Chain A
Amino acid sequence: MTALILTLKPPVTTKIDCRLLTPQHLAQKTLAEIKAMRLSQHLIVADVFDVTGENVNQIIFKQATHSLDYVGYQMKSGQITVEGDAGDFIGAAMQGGVLICKGSVGERAGDSMRRGMLLIEGDAGEYCASSMKAGTLGVLGNTGARLGFGMKRGTLLLAQTPTLQATWLDCGWHTLPFLNILYQSFKTLDTRFATLTQMRVQRWMGDVSGLGKAEILVLA
């Protein structure tokens, strides 16, 4: 089965709430039913996306821009790939599966995320991983202010050194064996994360204004 492809129709002038475009919401739906799904009061899927393919466990957003909010919201399984950029709240409240964004994302990526893997190849906006409960969030580009605000548990894997914050505590440099297992899982995915081999990381723990059991791992 070919992946379900949602190609954004230019030009887009408004924000588009994509929270219903996840594997669990699209399961058992025909292509016609998916096209007719209502995204907001005045918008159905077919208004903004060309829809092709059939495998709802493999969803690809093409020609994506920052206008797409809530991509992968509460997704539980399967894989979503964003070819391009995404807006705010990508992977928010995510509960499983793999979500890859090949471009940059807006604010609050992975907000309240509980499980799964969110991989952002570009930059992430402010409040990335805010209130994250668990799971793995990777960012190859730069991250905005207030990174990991209120983050409770989970792993934030960064390729670039973030701005220092008072509520994150430096635990030093380490070679962590589990990273090899994580990297091997990346190798099964079509993402630049598959090229990571660096086992040595600087570990920060926080956000100590709250539970403080989360970690930021910064690649050397």
Chain B
Amino acid sequence: MNINGVHIDDTFAEAFNMRGTRVIITALNLKWAYNAANAMTGFATSVIGCGVEAGIERELTPDETPDGRPGVAVLMFAMGSKVLMQQLETRMGQCILTCPTAAAFSGIASDDQISLGKHLRYFGDGNQVSKLIPDANGVNQRYWRIPVMDGEFLTQETTGMVRAIGGGNFLVLGQSQPQVLAACEAAIEAMKKIPNVIMPFPGGVVRSGSKVGSKYPKLFASTNDAFCPTLKGVVNTELDMDIESVMEIVIDGLTFEDIALSMKVGIEAACHLGASAGIKRISAGNYGGKLGQHHFKLQPILQGNLAGATSA
């Protein structure tokens, strides 16, 4: 398969079951909503070292937020519900509670509810105020008003937790580092428009793809040497001699279709630059299909078969 002179490998991205949640962060203005959300989603690139993978899903206009202020939606994913709960509480306490004018609300409905401000309320030292207020459907929602130095910190008591998928990905292979980076930037810009997904790495792009295992017994992951261009001559490489740089875009999302769609628009945006811009191949990272529950096959996805692109 070939798009605009870019070869699409007949391979798949291997992804895993995760637990996810969405939190709506609002503030006096968008600048402070971003300050809060950037802190909350900081150091959340990979579950391997950060516990969760998190990112800003999109901006919200005042009429999209519960308190009528500008805001952003944050998605957060973890390998299990316990870690997700712990990380959400910690990040709420250190990043949202602390941020001037910020407030936090549930961003997703689910029977599984996890704590947003349920325990954070005790910061109020007995002066916290609970309010049970019906939503537009007449269903009571509990909020906590916690006195803080800038006024009141307002947070909903809980948010929903849902089953989600993490680890959708594709690799962009090209002639030079700047060209591959430009293709990845174009892909990220296109993927940001897709709801229900985040690309958790810096700027949405990761350059240190990993393989399972290491020559060092204590390490369970190490550099993906088959895709390292400087090792082409000495390892069992996946790269032709004209590939000088490889970057990866990792996607976490609420459903298989969400991730598949974001992969499709991302790859198409990268391929739009074409072979003439130094983009040679699109591939994907997997572990031989034995570890992940979800397989995102590149070619069926790019043919528009979003739901049927799995073999897991």
B135 touches A185 (CB 8 A): yes
From B103, B127, B131, B151, contact of A136 by CB (8 A): B131
Decide yes or no whether A181 CB sits under 8 A from chain B: yes
Distance in angstroms between the alpha carbons of A98 and B68 in the assembled complex: 23
Chain B binder among A27-35, A46-54, A171-179? A171-179
B152 touches A178 (CB 8 A): yes
From A98, A174, A184, contact of B151 by CB (8 A): A174
Q: Which residues of B contact A98 (CB under 8 A)?
A: 134
Decide yes or no whether B69 CB sits under 8 A from chain A: yes
Decide yes or no whether A180 CB sits under 8 A from chain B: yes
Which has the most chain B C-beta neighbours within 10 Å: A98, A155, A185, A188?
A185
Q: Which residues of B contact A155 (CB under 8 A)?
A: 129, 131
Q: Which of B122-167 contact A (CB under 8 A)?
A: 126-127, 129-136, 138, 140, 143, 145, 151-152, 154
Distance in angstroms between the alpha carbons of A153 and B132 in the assembled complex: 13
Distance in angstroms between the alpha carbons of A96 and B134 in the assembled complex: 10
Chain B interface mostly: strand
Q: Residue of A at shortest CB range from B62?
A: A180
Decide yes or no whether B67 CB sits under 8 A from chain A: yes
CB distance from B74 to the nearest CB of A (A): 18
Q: Residue of A at shortest CB range from B137?
A: A188
B68 touches A176 (CB 8 A): no
B134 touches A115 (CB 8 A): no
Decide yes or no whether A36 CB sits under 8 A from chain B: no
CB distance from B252 to the nearest CB of A (A): 30
Decide yes or no whether B66 CB sits under 8 A from chain A: yes
Q: Which residues of A contact B26 (CB under 8 A)?
A: 177
Q: Which residues of A contact B145 (CB under 8 A)?
A: 176, 178
Chain B positions within 8 Å of A, measured between CB atoms, are 26, 66-69, 103, 126-127, 129-136, 138, 140, 143, 145, 151-152, 154
- 29 A-B pairs within 8 Å (CB atoms) are namely A98-B134, A115-B132, A117-B134, A134-B130, A135-B132, A136-B131, A136-B133, A153-B129, A155-B129, A174-B152, A177-B67, A177-B154, A178-B131, A178-B133, A178-B143, A178-B152, A178-B154, A180-B67, A180-B69, A181-B66, A181-B133, A182-B131, A182-B133, A185-B133, A185-B134, A185-B135, A188-B136, A213-B126, A213-B127
Chain A positions within 8 Å of B, measured between CB atoms, are 96, 98, 115, 117, 134-136, 153, 155, 174-178, 180-182, 184-185, 188, 213, 215
**Apart from A213-B126, A213-B127, what are 14 other A-B pairs with CB-CB below 8 Å?**
A98-B134, A115-B132, A155-B129, A174-B152, A177-B67, A177-B151, A178-B133, A178-B154, A180-B68, A181-B131, A182-B131, A182-B133, A185-B134, A188-B136
